[in-house]
Structure 1
Amino acid sequence: MHKQWSLKIVYLNYAIFWVIWLIAQGYLTLFQRQMTAGMTNDLINVAVKVLIWVPLGLFWLNKTQGQLWLSKKKLYNRHFPVQFWWTLAIFIVYLGFSMWFRHHSFYITAMPFTKEGGNFFSVTLAAGLIEEFVFRGFFCNYLLAKFDMTSAIIIQALLFQAIHFPIYFAEGLSLMGWGVNVATVLPLGLIFGWIFYQSKNLWPSTILHCIWDTSVFLFI
């Protein structure tokens, strides 16, 4: 029988997670600038994220059994509601328009596997799969059992936004860079939370997350 976790315990665990991720991002940035490039840089990013995020997500899910809105055994299923398909269509149209507006033609980055081109696997796959598992699979899932739908989705979106701050710190983003990222990540967190609520399935938000990140990385 698992002891019930209060909201204070969950928020405390999140705060510890945030500090760990801040330290990890700082060391990663310093190490990679001096020692690594290209594919090595990408694979290190994926490995670090897997080693930190996945065990914590599994630990939290196990510790809160019976307190979740959706059982961990039902997180991944075949339910894809109409809201997912409409959102997917809107994403594709918006991302296609953004690519055309910025480049005035079809465009794809020429260096997806190099340090200059970015981190291909960590952006296109790891971010969507791992972040959705932790934030929609656990945080949104737990909060939906404690709050009404709107409150739960807003809180998890704020937590999702905040976990990106260590990356902004590590990369030394300008004030404008912070503003642009917040204006993108926060609404996406709300959308992914809403899709998870509508579908009772982690696959729809994961697919949307991966499509968004991949499209921005490769085409925009």
Structure 2
Amino acid sequence: MGEILSSITGAIVNLVIFSLIPVLWWFFRHRKEVGFFKWIGLYKPQLKSQWWVLIIFAAVYYFFYSFDFTQLIDAKSLEYLENSASVSGNAYAGMGAAAIVPALIENFIANGVAEEILFRGFLCKRLCSKFGTVPGIILQGVLFALMHNILYLVIGMEVSLWYHVLMFVFTAMGALLLGWLNEKIYNGSIIPSIILHGAGNFISTMLAVFG
């Protein structure tokens, strides 16, 4: 029960923090033009590409997400990550089935909804509007990856420069794919990326718990 309450609290805090800038930006600049949910992309997704494009995307995303990039990490960084309390998935180690509900809350709300609102809903759409769809998608991917690098540095994660490079490349690629899914395959709704982001993180956490 304690883990569930902790996950709910963390999810609410994340959601508030990540939504603060988008809400304020919308309130002071766009509230008279459009509702917040539509502006940020929280509306029903509609496929605007051919169905086979979605199939190709699914295959690419599956192979990208299932690729074990830990085999590229240096041994010292990998050992540190496997034992660090700062790695969210490690918090659920040894909990078994009791980890499912708190992990669902954390992965879908704290990660999926909160991060997608800020990066794919706010940043990606603003950048696409200013620089064009493809440059905007690429730029938000770069910023999303840099956020993870900076976070690791701020909390003092003892990982190598090579790990930072790998994390940047793989995180940027994941963000690029999520942005592409929303803006090029669907109708700008961020719900597809919320579902995919949350599910991907949840599966990774469950693999850490039961693997």
TM-score bracket, normalised by the shorter chain, equals 0.5 to 0.7
Pair 1:192-2:157 in alignment: no
- 2:46 alignment counterpart: 79
Q: What is the aligned residue count?
A: 171
CA contact (8 A) 2:108 2:198 kept: yes
CA contact (8 A) 2:146 2:168 kept: no
Q: Which residue of 2 aligns with 1:62?
A: 27
With over 3 angstroms needed to count, the CA separation of the structure-2 counterparts of 1:45 and 1:165, relative to structure 1, is: farther
Partners of 1:86 and 1:180 lie apart in 2 by 25
Unpaired runs of at least 5, structure 2: 72-92
Distance in 2 (alpha carbons) for counterparts of 1:144 and 1:212: 25
Partner of residue 50 from structure 1, selected from 2, 9, 15: 15
Is the CA contact (8 Å cut-off) linking 2:182 and 2:190 kept in structure 1?
Answer: yes
The question of whether the paired residues in 1 share the 8 Å contact of 2:116 and 2:193 is answered with yes
**Aligned 8 A contact 1:153 1:194 in 2:** yes
Matches of 1:41 and 1:125 in 2, distance apart?
13
Q: Counterpart of 2:159?
A: 174
Task: Please give the alpha-carbon distance, in whole angstroms, between the structure 2 residues aligned to 1:157 and 1:95.
Answer: 16
**Following the alignment from structure 1 to structure 2, what is the Cα–Cα distance between the partners of residues 212 and 202?**
15
Q: For 2:22 and 2:95, locate their aligned partners in 1 and report how far apart those are by CA, in whole Å.
A: 32
2:150 maps to 1:127: no
Q: Report deviation, 1:140.
A: 0.9
CA drift at 1:160: 1.4
Asked if the contact 1:60–1:138 (Cα under 8 Å) also holds between the matched residues in 2, the reply is no
Query: Could you list the per-position Cα deviations for residues 156-211 of structure 1 after superposition, in whole angstroms to 9, with x for gaps in the alignment?
Result: 11221222234313151412442332232111111111112111211111122112
Q: CA RMSD in A?
A: 3.4
Q: Does 1:143 align with 2:108?
A: no
8 Å contact from structure 2 (residues 107, 199) kept in 1: no
Distance 1:111 1:85, change over 3 A: farther
Per the alignment, residue 215 of structure 1 pairs with 203
Residue 155 of structure 1 is matched in structure 2 by 139
Structure 2 counterpart of 1:54, one-letter code: S
> In 2, Cα distance between the equivalents of 1:74 and 1:49?
19
Provide the identity percentage.
21
Q: 1:141 and 1:96, CA in 2 relative to 1: closer, same or farther beyond 3 A? A: closer
2:193 to 201, 205, 210: 205
TM-superposition CA deviations, 1:59-79 (whole Å, max 9, x none): 223334269xx9517642131
Task: Report the CA distance shift for 1:150/1:173 in structure 2 as closer, same or farther (over 3 A).
Answer: farther
Separation in 2, partners of 1:213, 1:202 = 17
Partner SS state of residue 79, structure 1? coil
- Opposite residue 211 of structure 1, the aligned amino acid is A
